[in-house]
Structure 1
Amino acid sequence: MNLKIKDFVLLALLTALYVIVYFVGAMLISLIGPFGDSISAGVCGLLSGVILVFITRKIGKMWQFTIIELIVMAVFALMGSGYLPWFITSMVGAILADFIASTSEKPSVLKIAIASGILHVGNALGGIIPACFFAEQYMNEWIARGQKPEQMLAMVKAAQGTMGILATIITFVLSVIGVYIGYSILKGHLKEK
Protein backbone atom coordinates (compact mmCIF):
# COMPACT_ATOMS: atom_id res chain seq x y z
CA MET A 1 0.00 0.00 0.00
CA ASN A 2 2.19 2.80 -1.29
CA LEU A 3 1.06 6.40 -1.23
CA LYS A 4 0.33 7.84 -4.67
CA ILE A 5 0.47 11.47 -5.80
CA LYS A 6 -3.31 11.81 -5.39
CA ASP A 7 -2.93 10.56 -1.80
CA PHE A 8 -0.34 13.23 -1.05
CA VAL A 9 -2.57 15.93 -2.56
CA LEU A 10 -5.59 14.78 -0.53
CA LEU A 11 -3.45 14.52 2.62
CA ALA A 12 -2.15 18.06 2.09
CA LEU A 13 -5.66 19.46 1.62
CA LEU A 14 -7.08 17.62 4.61
CA THR A 15 -4.07 18.58 6.71
CA ALA A 16 -4.72 22.24 5.87
CA LEU A 17 -8.25 21.77 7.20
CA TYR A 18 -6.82 19.95 10.24
CA VAL A 19 -4.46 22.88 10.95
CA ILE A 20 -7.38 25.32 10.82
CA VAL A 21 -9.29 23.12 13.27
CA TYR A 22 -6.19 22.97 15.50
CA PHE A 23 -5.93 26.78 15.56
CA VAL A 24 -9.63 27.28 16.27
CA GLY A 25 -9.58 24.66 19.02
CA ALA A 26 -6.44 26.13 20.59
CA MET A 27 -7.92 29.63 20.57
CA LEU A 28 -11.17 28.47 22.13
CA ILE A 29 -9.59 26.34 24.85
CA SER A 30 -7.06 29.04 25.72
CA LEU A 31 -9.98 30.98 27.17
CA ILE A 32 -9.99 28.65 30.20
CA GLY A 33 -6.43 29.61 31.08
CA PRO A 34 -3.03 27.90 31.16
CA PHE A 35 -4.42 24.38 31.56
CA GLY A 36 -6.17 24.91 28.24
CA ASP A 37 -2.80 24.96 26.51
CA SER A 38 -1.99 21.56 28.00
CA ILE A 39 -5.16 20.01 26.58
CA SER A 40 -5.37 21.96 23.31
CA ALA A 41 -4.19 18.89 21.38
CA GLY A 42 -7.13 16.97 22.87
CA VAL A 43 -9.57 19.65 21.78
CA CYS A 44 -8.04 19.39 18.31
CA GLY A 45 -8.56 15.63 18.49
CA LEU A 46 -12.18 16.13 19.50
CA LEU A 47 -12.86 18.57 16.67
CA SER A 48 -10.82 16.77 13.99
CA GLY A 49 -12.03 13.21 14.50
CA VAL A 50 -14.12 13.41 11.36
CA ILE A 51 -11.02 14.43 9.37
CA LEU A 52 -8.95 11.52 10.70
CA VAL A 53 -11.73 9.00 10.03
CA PHE A 54 -12.09 10.36 6.49
CA ILE A 55 -8.32 10.16 5.89
CA THR A 56 -8.15 6.63 7.23
CA ARG A 57 -11.09 5.45 5.12
CA LYS A 58 -10.22 7.31 1.90
CA ILE A 59 -6.42 6.96 1.95
CA GLY A 60 -5.78 4.27 4.53
CA LYS A 61 -2.08 3.81 3.85
CA MET A 62 1.00 3.52 5.99
CA TRP A 63 2.64 6.83 6.98
CA GLN A 64 -0.51 8.90 6.50
CA PHE A 65 -0.40 10.17 10.11
CA THR A 66 3.34 10.78 9.96
CA ILE A 67 2.94 12.90 6.81
CA ILE A 68 0.09 14.85 8.42
CA GLU A 69 2.24 15.53 11.47
CA LEU A 70 5.25 16.56 9.35
CA ILE A 71 3.07 19.11 7.56
CA VAL A 72 1.58 20.38 10.84
CA MET A 73 5.03 20.73 12.40
CA ALA A 74 6.29 22.55 9.29
CA VAL A 75 3.38 25.01 9.49
CA PHE A 76 4.09 25.72 13.16
CA ALA A 77 7.82 26.06 12.49
CA LEU A 78 7.14 28.56 9.69
CA MET A 79 5.01 30.55 12.12
CA GLY A 80 7.85 30.65 14.65
CA SER A 81 6.33 28.09 17.00
CA GLY A 82 8.57 25.15 16.17
CA TYR A 83 10.17 23.48 19.19
CA LEU A 84 12.37 20.38 19.01
CA PRO A 85 10.83 18.46 21.96
CA TRP A 86 7.37 19.10 20.50
CA PHE A 87 8.54 17.87 17.10
CA ILE A 88 10.04 14.71 18.62
CA THR A 89 7.01 13.75 20.73
CA SER A 90 4.63 14.58 17.88
CA MET A 91 6.53 12.44 15.40
CA VAL A 92 6.77 9.53 17.83
CA GLY A 93 3.00 9.78 18.38
CA ALA A 94 2.37 9.92 14.62
CA ILE A 95 4.56 6.89 13.89
CA LEU A 96 2.85 4.90 16.65
CA ALA A 97 -0.55 5.99 15.28
CA ASP A 98 0.47 4.74 11.84
CA PHE A 99 1.46 1.35 13.20
CA ILE A 100 -1.88 1.08 14.99
CA ALA A 101 -4.28 2.28 12.30
CA SER A 102 -2.42 2.34 8.98
CA THR A 103 -1.20 -1.23 8.67
CA SER A 104 -4.53 -2.72 7.62
CA GLU A 105 -6.74 -1.72 4.72
CA LYS A 106 -9.79 -1.00 6.88
CA PRO A 107 -8.89 -0.59 10.54
CA SER A 108 -11.66 -0.72 13.13
CA VAL A 109 -13.02 2.52 14.52
CA LEU A 110 -11.44 1.53 17.84
CA LYS A 111 -8.00 1.34 16.19
CA ILE A 112 -8.51 4.75 14.58
CA ALA A 113 -9.66 6.16 17.92
CA ILE A 114 -6.62 4.78 19.76
CA ALA A 115 -4.35 6.05 16.98
CA SER A 116 -5.90 9.51 17.28
CA GLY A 117 -5.47 9.43 21.04
CA ILE A 118 -1.78 8.57 20.71
CA LEU A 119 -1.26 11.10 17.90
CA HIS A 120 -2.71 13.92 20.00
CA VAL A 121 -1.03 12.80 23.23
CA GLY A 122 2.23 13.04 21.26
CA ASN A 123 1.37 16.66 20.54
CA ALA A 124 0.44 17.38 24.15
CA LEU A 125 3.62 15.80 25.52
CA GLY A 126 5.65 18.32 23.51
CA GLY A 127 4.77 20.86 26.19
CA ILE A 128 4.18 18.57 29.16
CA ILE A 129 7.55 16.77 29.09
CA PRO A 130 9.62 19.99 28.94
CA ALA A 131 7.49 21.50 31.72
CA CYS A 132 8.17 18.46 33.90
CA PHE A 133 11.81 17.72 33.17
CA PHE A 134 13.51 20.94 32.04
CA ALA A 135 11.11 23.70 33.00
CA GLU A 136 13.67 26.49 33.28
CA GLN A 137 15.07 25.91 29.78
CA TYR A 138 11.54 25.56 28.43
CA MET A 139 10.43 28.83 30.01
CA ASN A 140 13.56 30.68 28.88
CA GLU A 141 13.09 29.47 25.30
CA TRP A 142 9.55 30.82 25.07
CA ILE A 143 10.27 34.00 27.02
CA ALA A 144 13.03 34.71 24.48
CA ARG A 145 10.38 34.29 21.78
CA GLY A 146 8.16 36.91 23.38
CA GLN A 147 6.05 35.11 25.98
CA LYS A 148 5.63 36.89 29.29
CA PRO A 149 7.44 35.23 32.23
CA GLU A 150 4.28 35.06 34.35
CA GLN A 151 2.38 33.41 31.48
CA MET A 152 5.10 30.81 31.03
CA LEU A 153 5.25 30.10 34.75
CA ALA A 154 1.49 29.55 34.82
CA MET A 155 1.67 27.30 31.74
CA VAL A 156 4.48 25.23 33.26
CA LYS A 157 2.59 24.82 36.53
CA ALA A 158 -0.50 23.73 34.59
CA ALA A 159 1.52 20.99 32.84
CA GLN A 160 3.55 19.57 35.73
CA GLY A 161 2.87 16.59 37.98
CA THR A 162 -0.74 15.63 38.47
CA MET A 163 -1.89 18.35 36.08
CA GLY A 164 0.35 16.94 33.34
CA ILE A 165 -1.00 13.44 33.89
CA LEU A 166 -4.56 14.77 33.89
CA ALA A 167 -3.88 16.73 30.69
CA THR A 168 -2.50 13.61 29.02
CA ILE A 169 -5.55 11.54 29.98
CA ILE A 170 -7.99 14.28 28.93
CA THR A 171 -6.18 14.68 25.61
CA PHE A 172 -6.41 10.95 24.91
CA VAL A 173 -10.09 10.71 25.89
CA LEU A 174 -11.13 13.79 23.88
CA SER A 175 -9.30 12.44 20.82
CA VAL A 176 -10.99 9.04 21.12
CA ILE A 177 -14.40 10.70 21.48
CA GLY A 178 -13.64 12.85 18.43
CA VAL A 179 -13.10 9.78 16.25
CA TYR A 180 -16.37 8.21 17.37
CA ILE A 181 -18.20 11.48 16.66
CA GLY A 182 -16.46 11.68 13.28
CA TYR A 183 -17.38 8.11 12.45
CA SER A 184 -21.02 8.68 13.40
CA ILE A 185 -21.09 11.70 11.08
CA LEU A 186 -19.44 9.92 8.16
CA LYS A 187 -20.70 6.33 8.42
CA GLY A 188 -23.60 6.92 6.06
CA HIS A 189 -21.43 8.75 3.53
CA LEU A 190 -18.42 6.46 3.24
CA LYS A 191 -18.59 3.49 0.93
CA GLU A 192 -17.16 0.57 2.84
CA LYS A 193 -15.14 -1.96 0.85
Structure 2
Amino acid sequence: MKSFEWTVVDSDIGPLLLAATEDGLVSVVFHARGAVRERAPEQLAARLGRGAVEDATGSGRLAEPIRRLAEYFAGRRTEFGLPLDWSLTSGFNRQVLRELAETVPYGSVVGYGDLADRVGRPGAAQAVGAAMGSNPLPLVVPCHRVVESDGGLGGFGGGLETKRKLLALEGVLPQPLF
Protein backbone atom coordinates (compact mmCIF):
# COMPACT_ATOMS: atom_id res chain seq x y z
CA MET A 1 0.00 0.00 0.00
CA LYS A 2 1.39 3.40 -0.96
CA SER A 3 1.16 6.23 1.50
CA PHE A 4 0.45 9.93 1.41
CA GLU A 5 2.07 12.62 3.50
CA TRP A 6 0.13 15.24 5.40
CA THR A 7 0.78 18.17 7.69
CA VAL A 8 -1.02 21.17 9.13
CA VAL A 9 0.26 24.68 8.42
CA ASP A 10 -0.87 28.04 9.72
CA SER A 11 -2.16 30.56 7.21
CA ASP A 12 -3.91 33.91 7.10
CA ILE A 13 -7.23 32.05 6.96
CA GLY A 14 -6.46 29.59 9.77
CA PRO A 15 -4.80 26.20 9.88
CA LEU A 16 -4.77 24.21 6.63
CA LEU A 17 -4.26 20.46 6.42
CA LEU A 18 -2.28 19.62 3.27
CA ALA A 19 -1.84 16.13 1.88
CA ALA A 20 0.23 14.88 -1.05
CA THR A 21 0.79 11.60 -2.83
CA GLU A 22 3.65 10.76 -5.17
CA ASP A 23 1.53 12.33 -7.95
CA GLY A 24 1.11 15.71 -6.27
CA LEU A 25 -1.00 17.69 -3.84
CA VAL A 26 -4.21 15.72 -3.27
CA SER A 27 -6.07 17.58 -0.53
CA VAL A 28 -6.39 20.93 1.22
CA VAL A 29 -8.65 21.05 4.28
CA PHE A 30 -9.72 24.34 5.88
CA HIS A 31 -10.07 24.93 9.63
CA ALA A 32 -7.75 22.04 10.53
CA ARG A 33 -8.12 22.29 14.29
CA GLY A 34 -9.16 19.71 16.85
CA ALA A 35 -11.57 17.12 15.49
CA VAL A 36 -11.00 18.14 11.85
CA ARG A 37 -7.26 17.63 12.26
CA GLU A 38 -7.81 14.30 13.96
CA ARG A 39 -10.23 12.77 11.49
CA ALA A 40 -9.09 14.22 8.13
CA PRO A 41 -6.03 11.93 7.68
CA GLU A 42 -8.14 8.84 8.43
CA GLN A 43 -10.84 9.96 5.98
CA LEU A 44 -8.22 10.62 3.31
CA ALA A 45 -6.63 7.22 3.92
CA ALA A 46 -10.02 5.55 3.44
CA ARG A 47 -10.78 7.51 0.25
CA LEU A 48 -7.32 7.01 -1.23
CA GLY A 49 -6.89 3.41 -0.08
CA ARG A 50 -3.50 4.36 1.32
CA GLY A 51 -1.77 4.74 4.64
CA ALA A 52 -1.07 8.17 6.09
CA VAL A 53 2.33 9.43 7.20
CA GLU A 54 2.51 12.73 9.04
CA ASP A 55 5.22 15.05 7.74
CA ALA A 56 5.36 17.40 10.70
CA THR A 57 8.38 19.25 9.32
CA GLY A 58 7.00 19.80 5.83
CA SER A 59 10.31 18.64 4.36
CA GLY A 60 9.05 15.93 2.01
CA ARG A 61 6.36 16.11 -0.67
CA LEU A 62 4.76 19.06 1.08
CA ALA A 63 7.75 21.42 1.20
CA GLU A 64 6.97 23.11 -2.11
CA PRO A 65 3.20 23.46 -1.52
CA ILE A 66 3.93 24.99 1.90
CA ARG A 67 6.42 27.45 0.40
CA ARG A 68 4.07 28.47 -2.41
CA LEU A 69 1.09 28.93 -0.09
CA ALA A 70 3.20 31.21 2.13
CA GLU A 71 4.16 33.25 -0.95
CA TYR A 72 0.49 33.45 -1.99
CA PHE A 73 -0.58 34.79 1.40
CA ALA A 74 2.33 37.25 1.37
CA GLY A 75 1.08 38.61 -1.98
CA ARG A 76 4.14 37.35 -3.90
CA ARG A 77 2.49 34.51 -5.85
CA THR A 78 -0.49 34.54 -8.19
CA GLU A 79 -0.22 30.98 -9.52
CA PHE A 80 0.57 27.83 -7.58
CA GLY A 81 1.94 25.78 -10.46
CA LEU A 82 1.99 22.60 -8.38
CA PRO A 83 1.54 19.04 -9.56
CA LEU A 84 -1.95 17.97 -8.49
CA ASP A 85 -3.33 14.50 -7.81
CA TRP A 86 -6.92 14.55 -9.09
CA SER A 87 -7.81 11.10 -7.73
CA LEU A 88 -10.38 12.44 -5.22
CA THR A 89 -12.65 13.79 -7.94
CA SER A 90 -13.99 12.45 -11.21
CA GLY A 91 -16.48 12.98 -14.02
CA PHE A 92 -18.28 16.30 -14.29
CA ASN A 93 -16.79 17.58 -11.02
CA ARG A 94 -13.23 16.97 -12.24
CA GLN A 95 -14.04 18.60 -15.60
CA VAL A 96 -15.40 21.72 -13.89
CA LEU A 97 -12.54 21.94 -11.39
CA ARG A 98 -9.90 21.58 -14.12
CA GLU A 99 -11.63 24.29 -16.19
CA LEU A 100 -11.64 26.56 -13.15
CA ALA A 101 -7.97 25.91 -12.38
CA GLU A 102 -6.89 26.48 -15.98
CA THR A 103 -9.00 29.48 -16.99
CA VAL A 104 -9.87 31.67 -13.99
CA PRO A 105 -6.73 33.55 -13.00
CA TYR A 106 -5.79 35.30 -9.79
CA GLY A 107 -7.73 38.50 -9.25
CA SER A 108 -10.76 37.48 -11.32
CA VAL A 109 -14.07 35.74 -10.74
CA VAL A 110 -16.48 33.66 -12.80
CA GLY A 111 -20.18 32.95 -12.33
CA TYR A 112 -21.49 29.45 -11.65
CA GLY A 113 -23.55 29.62 -14.87
CA ASP A 114 -20.60 30.91 -16.90
CA LEU A 115 -18.47 28.02 -15.70
CA ALA A 116 -21.25 25.60 -16.64
CA ASP A 117 -21.31 27.13 -20.14
CA ARG A 118 -17.53 26.76 -20.42
CA VAL A 119 -17.75 23.01 -19.88
CA GLY A 120 -20.59 22.61 -22.36
CA ARG A 121 -23.41 22.26 -19.81
CA PRO A 122 -25.54 25.42 -20.04
CA GLY A 123 -28.07 25.57 -17.25
CA ALA A 124 -25.96 23.42 -14.91
CA ALA A 125 -25.07 26.21 -12.47
CA GLN A 126 -26.28 24.16 -9.48
CA ALA A 127 -24.16 21.20 -10.57
CA VAL A 128 -21.18 23.55 -10.78
CA GLY A 129 -21.97 24.66 -7.23
CA ALA A 130 -21.96 21.02 -6.13
CA ALA A 131 -18.60 20.54 -7.86
CA MET A 132 -17.21 23.53 -5.95
CA GLY A 133 -18.52 22.03 -2.71
CA SER A 134 -16.73 18.76 -3.40
CA ASN A 135 -13.41 20.38 -4.39
CA PRO A 136 -10.65 18.40 -2.64
CA LEU A 137 -8.10 21.13 -3.43
CA PRO A 138 -9.74 24.43 -2.40
CA LEU A 139 -7.52 27.47 -2.56
CA VAL A 140 -5.14 25.81 -5.05
CA VAL A 141 -8.07 25.00 -7.35
CA PRO A 142 -9.66 28.39 -6.65
CA CYS A 143 -13.34 27.73 -5.99
CA HIS A 144 -13.36 30.98 -3.99
CA ARG A 145 -13.31 32.72 -7.40
CA VAL A 146 -16.75 31.36 -8.35
CA VAL A 147 -19.59 33.76 -7.57
CA GLU A 148 -23.28 34.25 -8.27
CA SER A 149 -24.34 35.93 -11.52
CA ASP A 150 -25.92 38.81 -9.58
CA GLY A 151 -22.62 39.58 -7.86
CA GLY A 152 -23.35 37.68 -4.65
CA LEU A 153 -20.58 35.62 -3.13
CA GLY A 154 -22.46 32.32 -3.30
CA GLY A 155 -21.40 29.55 -0.96
CA PHE A 156 -18.00 28.34 0.16
CA GLY A 157 -16.94 25.25 2.07
CA GLY A 158 -14.38 27.25 4.02
CA GLY A 159 -17.03 29.76 5.10
CA LEU A 160 -18.00 33.09 3.57
CA GLU A 161 -15.57 35.06 5.74
CA THR A 162 -12.72 32.94 4.36
CA LYS A 163 -13.99 33.53 0.81
CA ARG A 164 -14.12 37.28 1.46
CA LYS A 165 -10.55 37.26 2.79
CA LEU A 166 -9.24 35.34 -0.22
CA LEU A 167 -11.02 37.61 -2.70
CA ALA A 168 -9.72 40.68 -0.83
CA LEU A 169 -6.17 39.26 -0.92
CA GLU A 170 -6.53 38.88 -4.70
CA GLY A 171 -7.87 42.44 -5.08
CA VAL A 172 -11.40 41.44 -6.11
CA LEU A 173 -12.95 42.85 -2.93
CA PRO A 174 -11.70 45.74 -0.78
CA GLN A 175 -9.58 44.88 2.23
CA PRO A 176 -11.50 45.11 5.53
CA LEU A 177 -11.11 48.45 7.30
CA PHE A 178 -10.60 46.84 10.70
Task: Judge same fold: TM > 0.5, yes or no.
Answer: no
Instruction: Using structure 1 for the length normalisation, give the TM-score.
Output: 0.27
Give the TM-score, by structure 2 length: 0.29
Of Structure 1 and Structure 2, the greater helix share is in 1
